[in-house]
Amino acid sequence: MSKKFAFIDGEKDNFPLMKMCGWLNVSKSGYYEWRDRPLSMTAERRERLKLMIKAVFDANHGAYGYRRVHAVLARSGERVSDELVRQLMRELDLQPCQPKPWRPTTTDGDEQHRIPDLVRRDFTADAPGTKLVGDITYIATGEGWLYLATAIDCYSKMVVGWSMADHYKVPLIASALDMAANNVDLSDGCIFHSDRGSNYTSYEFAKKLESLDMRQSVGRTGVCWDNAMAESFFGALKNEWINHVRFATRADARRAIVQYIEGFYNRKRLHSGLGYRTPLEVHGEYLNLQLAA
């Protein structure tokens, strides 16, 4: 009976009340009694949770699925199952944006410059500054392409280095590495892993890595999974942040990207691979453990 009354309540602006009651074989007085009845404790809690879920979803730019929303609620002390969060998100029609698969095309910068794959799809590390991954992507603006190079720490998943320019030459990726070296203590022989793009496999970039005492690693040509961690970040950036916006200038795009990396991704975005913690949290916890030791 309550489902019939709920249907009537949802359609009362579209059809006459008396007609709907007749169609469903219920009384008008029964509908008013149902409508004015106080919510049960369970119903009240569901409505309260819906408000909280909507607030979390909106605060994270529609990027969180039910697992991450559940993690945020759990961190705030709210005891609720992830299945209930999923049900309520469906009722609210909250659908997180999902990145589309991306398949890059890469070519060696120098056929004779052979570089091994030291990572082999293991994007984990025992400490910060021991293994980094990097890649380049491009963002359309009214002034032309803006290129973004990144360096991501495999331990914390934090973007520790980034650089943007109107070109994708070696100075762009070298600048991202310099920022990474300033933000994280790189261990001797720290691995830097990338795809086999011509700039990453050039002698100029090899010399840059040598100057930082880093070991070079690359995946196979055209095999996106070999640099999946770096590409996953770009998928999140574009899907969660910039694919919904048209940038008039490179400066506009640059501001949006910095806001995503430094204001959201590193500091606020919960990662399932980090136990639904943020990269900055994980990095800070490691440093605190080292100080306490």
Average pLDDT value for residue range 53-78: 84
Q: What average pLDDT does the chain have?
A: 86
CA angle (273, 276, 282) in 5-degree steps: 80
Residue 104: pLDDT over 70: no
Instruction: Give the total residue count for the chain.
Output: 293
Residue 102: pLDDT over 70: no
Residue 6: pLDDT over 90: no
- The three-class DSSP label of residue 245 is coil
Structure tokens, 195: 């795809």
| Per-residue model confidence as pLDDT tens digits over 49-63 | 888 888 888 777 777
Structure tokens, 153: 């720490």
Percent of the chain with pLDDT over 90: 48
**Residue 286: what are its φ and ψ, rounded to 5°?**
-65, -45
| Per-residue model confidence as pLDDT tens digits over 77-90 | 888 888 888 888 88
Residue 98 has what pLDDT?
Answer: 62
Residue 109 has what pLDDT?
Answer: 46
| Per-residue model confidence as pLDDT tens digits over 134-169 | 999 999 999 999 999 999 999 999 999 999 999 999
Sign of CA dihedral 220, 222, 224, 227: positive
183's enclosing H/E stretch is helix 170-183
Q: What is the dihedral of CA 185, 264, 209, 102, to 10 degrees?
A: 150
Q: Nearest-CA neighbor of 117 among 31, 213, 218, 22?
A: 218
Residue 236: pLDDT over 60: yes
Residue 186 and residue 129: Cα distance in Å, rounded? 4
Find the distance separating the first CA and the last CA of the chain, reported in whole Å: 64
Cβ within 8 Å of residue 251, ≥6 positions away: none
Residue 101: pLDDT over 50: no
Lowest mean per-residue pLDDT among 25-34, 149-158, 227-236, 277-286: 25-34
Residue 184 has what pLDDT?
Answer: 96
Residue 10: pLDDT over 80: no
CA diameter of the chain: 85
Residue 163 and residue 82: Cα distance in Å, rounded? 38
pLDDT bucket at 223, cuts 50 / 70 / 90: low
Residue 75 has what pLDDT?
Answer: 84
The amino acid at residue 230 is A
Residue 221 has what pLDDT?
Answer: 61
